[in-house]
Each structure stands twice: as structure tokens, then as C-alpha cells.
């Protein structure tokens, strides 16, 4: 970063760095997450409630060709990631419509810091939710045969998904007219995993829905996680598709977010 | 040129083919209050957005403390503080945390002392630990301005800072603006309240449909319109007609049945006027002494500008 100019009061401002600004923004977002009960509920508690429901209520009726808990955990991990997105979109839109982003823009603050803060805090929140799902799953009797490398790879997949979905969500938050509209905009992202192999195997679905489930973005991500958590090598096809979808969504979200940020804010 | 805190020449900004700012020139001397007066939609906020680097101008130059808003954005941003039209405060943080956020982003040294001082100055110390969602509108505005002052910017932009405030909060705002200027800060203030510009501004411009229709000191602008006069409203046309013949300089007002008589507003000229009415056994239904205020300036200038625009 270039050095920042001396402020008018004569206090020499140390070089403001994009990283430093992003850390300050992240701290702000973390405070938001912790203080907003809706966010905590949506992002962390609701996925756990869903897990209890699917495993103890519906799970008995679902044939997966094995232990249902073991089948459901990877899918629920992905759902935990997407469930936390709604509050992010709302918050980003709040920042935009209430003038907070404009305030930052008139200051000598790194341009993208406020967006980076939202994306990173969303990613961290998603990761906490995913860890909570796995933790509760373990308490319910989920046993994984994954080795350390496979756990690490699974963590990488979750991080990549959360980061990509985070950018896409931030873009939606910037593009929406109102905070409520922004929250609504993420509903498709939250609904998509229901129409994937997350909780029910795709080949048990009706024609049409089945094809959709097989080719939609979340299925390869979930299948890759499922392979990793059961200690298998993920199939190359699923892994490549998962990476391509995540990177594609991430790039799309990033470009969309930056363009909207320049135009609207 | 560069000694001016703000120098604007030939500023133009259009949205699509609608010109919002249509060639604006003005200068603001350091350490003064400059007020931009205009009705809603005149282009005040657009001006503030261009001057504070939020919007790029289509044409013209804008220099803030000598820095060009197009090419020296970082220098401009390090110099200015901006309080927008709506309190841009973080709802999920406390008052103190909002100020802390600004201090962190501006890398202010000894931030605790700066924050406590600002809280005290804006009478927010008691509420400092409460979330902003519990603050009243006036408190939010005050906190917004306090946030703007973190790091002591030398040029401050206030976009309609008292719109929607109760009279007491409004006076507090005015007092703070006066203190800032006394400390050497330059203040650029937009307002639709004429008394506000009259109270605070060293110089002011009147903006209407993206053009400056007048600029000068409040006194200079007041001089551009008719002086003090007395208004007399009569019960009928016959009485008004006779009043117009017996009172020197009286003119029929645009309002029906009202005569406007120039005078200095002193008790002597008023007594003479009333005596003349009594001599002719004329009674006015309503009587008022009218001293010019910025309202007159504003209506005269923008009214004129509007008809001109229509004639084109």
C-alpha cells in the first residue's frame, strides 16, 4: 500500500493498510453476528434443529442404503453454510441503504474492506455452524472413517463453498433495493440444497427433479464431502465439478459485488 | 486559488440526460461556514456527493484544500469529514463502539481520550454504552457528527444536519457548528431552512434546478429584495383604492385587498401612517410590519429563476 497522507490535525496517520482496515471491519461484523439473535439462530441453531428433525423424525423413512446419520451429516454441513447467508445479505444492504458504506467511502479507508469484512465474517460463521453440525452429529453417534488428510480436505471444501457463497451473498445484498429484499434474494441459495442429494439420495426422486438434483451445483459439493467423511477418495468428476462451481460462483459474486459497489455506493 | 478550502469551477453532473448540476462556481474561505440553500431536488446532495468523492463530476474542477477530487482522492478523503442527510451510524454497536470504529479506521492515537471528549461534548456520555437502536433521532444525529469529528478533519460537510430535529437539538447543532468554526474548521452546510443559513453562514449560495441563482453574505442577499414595509389588508376594494391614493408610495400587493407601504419600521413612520388612515376614516382589517428575511430572498430568486427556465 502507498503511504497515507498526514491528516490535517498534524497527527501523522500510520500507513493505513487494506489488511488492517479489513480486520477492523471484520471485528465490527463479528460483534454484529454475536449481538443479533436472528443471525445466531439462523446460522447455527437452525441447522442443528433441522439435523435433529431429519435424523430422528424423517430419517427412519428415508432409504439411503446405510446409516442415515452418516448419510445426512455432509448434506447438513452444506445446509449449515447456506443457512447463515440470509443475515449477511440483510446486513450488507443495511450498510448500503443506511449510508454506512458511504461514510466509509468518504474516509481514507481501503475500498473493499467493508465487503471483505462481511465475506470473512460470513465464512467464519459458516465454519462454526459446520463444526457445530459435525460436533452434534458425533454426539448423536456419527462415526467417520476419514483420516486427517480427508478431514483437512473436507474443511477446505467447506471453506471454499462458504467463501464463494459469501461473495455471491454480498453481491446480492448490494444489488437489492431493501434489506428485506436482500434477505429474500438468498432464499434460492438456501433452498437449493433441499433439491440436491443433501438429505435424500437423488435417484429416489421423481424424474425431472432427479435430473435437476444430479446436475445442480450443490450435489457435487455434497457428494465430495460425503466421500471424504466416509474415508473414500472423492470421485474426480464430483470433485472437479464442486471446485468449478465454487470458483465460478466466487468469481461471479466478487465481480458482481465490486461492480455494484462502485455503481451504487 | 489553492488558498481556498473549497474551490469549485464549472461543475456539471447529469443523470442520463437530466442535468442535476448545470455549471456551478463557488469558493469557500478556510475557517468559515458556507451554506448552500435550496429546496428539495435542487441538487444539494449531489453537490455534497461530488465534493466528498462519492460521485465523479461530468465536467468542471473541484479542489478540496487544493486537492483535486478526481486525481487526489486519498488526500481529499484524509482532509474531510462528512455527515450525510441520514444518520449513518451502526445500529448494532454502542455509541462508544461507533466512535471507536472511526478512531480505528483513522488510526487515531490516544483514541480513548478523543472518544471520551467527543461523548462529553455531544452530551452522549450517559448513553455511550447503549446500542444505537435505543437512541432517539437527535442523539443519532449528534453521534453521527461526533463520528465525523474523530481525527479532526479540517473541512466538514453537513448535508441538512438539522432536518427533522426538535428545536432544542437544532440549537445544540448550531452551537457545535459555531464552535468548530471558532477552532478553525471549514464547514460546508446544506439546508432548506433559511434561518439556519442566516444564523450560521458567512457566505451562502442559493441553488435552484442545478444553478446558483444568487451568492453572497446573508446581508448582501437581503439587500437584493424590497426593504421593510407595512402590509395593510382592507375589507373591500373601495377602501383599498382610497388607501392607495392617500398613502405615499403604497402599491397594491399581489395578494388581494392588500396595500404594501414602504417604511423604515420605526414607530414614528408607523404613527404617521396610522394618523393618515384615521384622518380619512379608513380602517384596515389586518396590519403587519414586514422585515425582509431569507424567505423573501429565496422566493424572489427562485421564483424568478423558475419563470426564466420556463420561458426558455
Residue of B nearest to A100 (CA): B88
d(CA A218, CA B111): 47
Q: Does residue A70 contact residue A230 with C-beta atoms inside 8 Å?
A: yes
B82 touching A, CB under 8 A? yes
B52 touching A, CB under 8 A? yes
Please give the model's pTM, rounded to 2 decimal places: 0.81
* B298 inside domain: no
Mean pLDDT of chain A: 87
Cβ separation B151–A7 shorter than 8 A: yes
The cell numbers describing B182, all together, are 471558532
pLDDT of residue A3: 40
Are residues B267 and B185 part of one domain? no
Mean pLDDT of chain B: 87
pLDDT of residue B103: 95
Q: Which residue has the higher pLDDT, A251 or B163?
A: A251
Question: Tens of pLDDT along B187-230?
Answer: 999 998 878 888 899 999 999 889 998 889 988 877 766 667 88
* B74 inside domain: yes
Identity of the residue in A5, A28, A106 whose CB atom sits nearest the CB atom of B52:
A106
The cell numbers describing B265, all together, are 419600521
Q: Does residue B28 contact residue B190 with C-beta atoms inside 8 Å?
A: no
* B30 inside domain: yes
For testing the chain B interface, which of A12, A107, A113, A262 should be mutated: the one with the most B CBs within 10 Å? A107
Identity of the residue in A8, A9, A31 whose CB atom sits nearest the CB atom of B92:
A31
Q: How far does B7 lie from chain A, in Å, by closest CA?
A: 18
Are residues B159 and B66 part of one domain? yes
Question: Tens of pLDDT along A214-232?
Answer: 888 999 999 999 999 988 8
Are residues B61 and B197 part of one domain? yes
Close Cβ partners of B284 (under 8 Å, ≥ 6 residues apart): B232, B233, B234, B243, B277
Assembly ipTM: 0.82
Q: What is the total count of domains within chain B? A: 2
pLDDT of residue B2: 52
Are residues B159 and B267 part of one domain? no
The domain spanning residue B243 has which CATH number?
A: 3.30.70
Are residues B282 and B192 part of one domain? no
pLDDT classification of B66: cutoffs 50, 70, 90: very high
B89 touching A, CB under 8 A? yes
Residue of A nearest to B101 (CA): A24
pLDDT of residue B225: 66
For B75, the domain range is 6-223
Identity of the residue in A16, A35, A98 whose CB atom sits nearest the CB atom of B107:
A16
Q: Which residue has the higher pLDDT, B22 or B261?
A: B22
A13 touching B, CB under 8 A? yes
Identity of the residue in A6, A100, A108 whose CB atom sits nearest the CB atom of B88:
A100
A103 touching B, CB under 8 A? yes
Residue with cell 435552484: B208
pLDDT of residue A68: 84
Indicate whether A10 pLDDT > 50.
Answer: no
Are residues B208 and B240 part of one domain? no
Are residues B282 and B200 part of one domain? no
* B1 inside domain: no
Number of A/B CB contacts below 8 angstroms equals 89
Q: Which residues pair with B61 in a beta bridge?
A: B9
pLDDT of residue A16: 59
pLDDT of residue A166: 95
- Which of the given ranges, B48-52, B167-171, B205-209, B233-237, has the highest pLDDT on average? B48-52
Q: Which residue has the higher pLDDT, A55 or A265?
A: A55
* B301 inside domain: no
- Cα angle, residue A105 at apex, residues A99 and A111 outer, rounded to 5°: 130
Are residues B201 and B75 part of one domain? yes
pLDDT of residue B21: 94
Work out the average pLDDT over B81-86: 88
Among B174, B199, B223, give the residue marking a domain's end. Answer: B223
Cβ separation A9–B152 shorter than 8 A: yes
Cα–Cα distances (Å) from B224 to A180, B37, B216, B291, in that order, read 50, 16, 10, 13
Indicate whether A259 pLDDT > 70.
Answer: yes
B101 touching A, CB under 8 A? yes
The domain spanning residue B78 has which CATH number?
A: 3.40.50.300
pLDDT classification of A18: cutoffs 50, 70, 90: confident
pLDDT of residue A13: 44
d(CA A156, CA A205): 30
- B 136-165: CB under 8 A from A: 147, 151-155
Percentage of chain A beyond pLDDT 90 is: 52
Are residues B28 and B168 part of one domain? yes
B214 touching A, CB under 8 A? no
Are residues B239 and B219 part of one domain? no
Are residues B267 and B217 part of one domain? no
Are residues B121 and B16 part of one domain? yes
Among B47, B38, B48, smallest CA distance to B306 is for: B38
Amino acid at each position: 500500500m502507498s503511504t497515507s497522507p498526514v491528516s490535517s490535525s498534524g497527527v501523522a496517520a500510520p500507513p493505513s493498510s487494506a489488511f488492517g482496515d479489513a480486520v477492523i471491519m471484520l471485528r465490527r461484523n463479528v460483534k454484529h453476528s454475536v449481538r443479533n439473535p436472528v443471525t445466531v439462530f439462523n446460522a447455527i441453531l437452525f441447522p442443528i434443529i433441522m439435523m435433529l428433525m431429519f435424523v430422528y423424525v424423517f430419517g427412519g423413512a428415508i432409504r439411503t442404503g446405510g446409516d442415515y446419520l452418516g448419510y445426512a451429516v455432509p448434506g447438513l454441513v452444506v445446509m449449515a453454510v447456506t443457512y447463515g447467508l440470509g443475515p449477511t445479505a440483510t446486513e450488507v444492504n443495511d450498510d448500503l441503504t443506511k449510508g454506512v458504506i458511504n461514510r466509509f467511502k468518504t474516509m481514507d479507508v481501503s475500498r473493499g474492506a467493508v465487503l471483505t469484512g462481511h465475506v470473512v465474517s460470513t465464512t467464519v460463521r459458516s465454519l462454526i455452524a459446520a463444526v457445530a453440525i459435525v460436533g452434534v452429529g458425533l454426539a448423536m453417534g456419527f462415526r467417520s472413517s476419514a483420516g486427517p488428510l480427508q478431514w483437512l480436505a473436507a474443511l477446505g471444501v467447506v471453506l471454499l463453498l462458504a467463501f464463494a457463497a459469501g461473495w455471491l451473498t454480498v453481491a446480492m445484498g448490494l444489488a437489492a433495493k431493501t434489506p428485506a429484499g436482500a434477505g429474500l434474494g438468498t432464499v434460492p441459495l438456501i433452498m437449493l440444497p433441499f433439491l440436491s442429494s443433501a438429505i435424500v439420495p437423488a435417484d429416489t426422486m421423481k424424474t425431472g427433479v432427479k435430473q435437476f438434483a444430479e446436475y445442480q451445483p450443490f450435489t457435487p459439493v455434497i457428494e465430495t464431502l460425503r466421500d471424504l467423511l466416509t474415508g473414500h477418495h472423492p470421485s474426480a468428476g464430483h470433485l472437479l465439478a464442486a471446485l468449478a462451481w465454487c470458483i465460478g460462483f466466487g468469481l461471479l459474486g466478487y465481480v458482481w459485488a465490486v461492480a455494484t459497489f462502485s455503481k451504487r455506493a | 486559488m489553492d488558498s481556498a478550502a473549497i474551490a469549485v469551477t464549472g461543475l456539471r453532473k447529469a443523470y442520463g440526460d437530466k442535468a442535476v448540476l448545470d455549471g456551478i462556481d463557488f469558493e469557500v474561505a478556510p475557517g468559515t461556514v458556507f451554506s448552500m440553500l435550496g429546496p428539495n431536488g435542487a441538487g444539494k446532495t449531489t453537490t455534497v456527493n461530488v465534493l466528498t468523492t462519492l460521485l465523479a463530476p461530468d465536467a468542471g474542477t473541484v479542489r478540496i484544500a487544493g486537492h483535486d477530487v478526481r486525481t487526489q482522492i486519498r488526500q481529499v478523503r484524509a482532509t474531510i469529514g462528512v455527515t450525510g442527510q441520514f444518520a449513518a451510524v451502526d445500529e448494532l454497536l454502542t455509541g462508544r463502539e461507533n466512535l471507536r470504529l472511526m478512531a480505528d479506521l483513522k488510526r487515531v492515537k490516544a483514541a480513548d481520550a478523543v472518544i471520551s471528549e467527543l461523548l462529553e461534548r455531544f452530551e452522549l456520555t450517559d448513553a455511550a454504552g447503549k446500542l444505537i437502536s435505543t437512541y432517539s433521532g437527535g442523539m443519532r444525529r449528534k453521534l453521527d457528527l461526533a463520528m465525523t469529528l474523530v481525527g479532526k478533519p479540517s473541512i466538514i460537510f453537513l448535508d441538512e444536519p438539522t432536518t427533522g430535529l426538535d428545536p432544542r437539538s437544532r440549537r445544540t447543532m448550531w452551537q457545535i457548528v459555531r464552535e468548530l468554526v471558532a477552532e478553525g474548521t471549514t464547514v460546508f452546510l446544506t439546508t432548506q431552512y433559511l434561518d439556519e443559513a442566516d444564523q450560521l453562514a458567512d457566505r451562502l449560495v442559493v441553488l435552484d434546478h442545478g444553478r446558483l441563482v444568487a451568492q453572497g453574505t446573508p446581508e448582501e442577499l437581503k439587500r437584493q429584495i424590497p426593504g421593510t414595509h407595512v402590509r395593510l389588508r382592507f375589507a373591500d376594494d373601495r377602501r383599498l383604492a382610497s388607501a392607495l391614493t392617500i398613502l405615499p408610495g403604497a402599491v397594491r400587493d399581489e395578494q388581494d385587498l392588500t396595500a404594501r407601504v414602504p417604511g423604515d419600521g420605526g414607530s414614528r413612520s408607523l404613527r404617521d401612517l396610522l394618523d393618515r388612515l384615521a384622518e380619512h376614516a379608513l380602517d384596515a382589517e389586518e396590519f403587519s410590519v414586514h422585515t425582509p428575511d431569507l424567505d423573501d430572498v429565496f422566493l424572489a430568486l427562485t421564483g424568478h429563476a423558475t419563470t426564466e427556465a420556463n420561458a426558455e
